[in-house]
Amino acid sequence: MRAALALCLMLLAAPALAVKPSEQLKDPAQEARARALSAELRCLVCQNQSIDDSDASLAQDLRRLVRERITAGDNDSQIRAFLVARYGEFVLLKPPVNTETYLLWGLPGIALVLGAGAAWRLFRRRRPVEAGGTTLSNEEKAELDALLARRE
């Protein structure tokens, strides 16, 4: 019972933001830029979280690096380019569409088309025989009439 209650409380708890007040920039505009950039960058430890949401020490280092680059005067694309050069495109939560990522972006559409085609073929096979498509012989009709007469 205690374990179920603990699980419910954990699921209901609001996620805490990982950015600590000591990390934040004094200029609200720069801090907003840093938060927006941090939301676009993947935590390389957690992998399914942005560095803005992650408590990992590497995410903390990346947040600090982003803020250092902002205060140094880099624009957002320069900061992204710097991080991609250092960590690869995996650091981006939303990778760009290019020749290396066509499969990544196209696979959901391909899977949808293949699934729809498979479903169409499956349901096409199970279609009931249309009227007039098959006729019973006289013997089969007589046997069917006899079976129906027994049932009544």
Q: Tens of pLDDT along 11-49?
A: 554 444 566 666 677 778 888 888 889 889 988 888 788
Confidence band of 7 (pLDDT split at 50, 70, 90): low
> Which tokens is 60 given?
């903390």
Q: Are 46 and 90 in contact (CB under 8 A)?
A: no
pTM above 0.75, yes or no: no
Among residues 48, 56, 47, the alpha carbon closest in space to that of 19 is found at 56
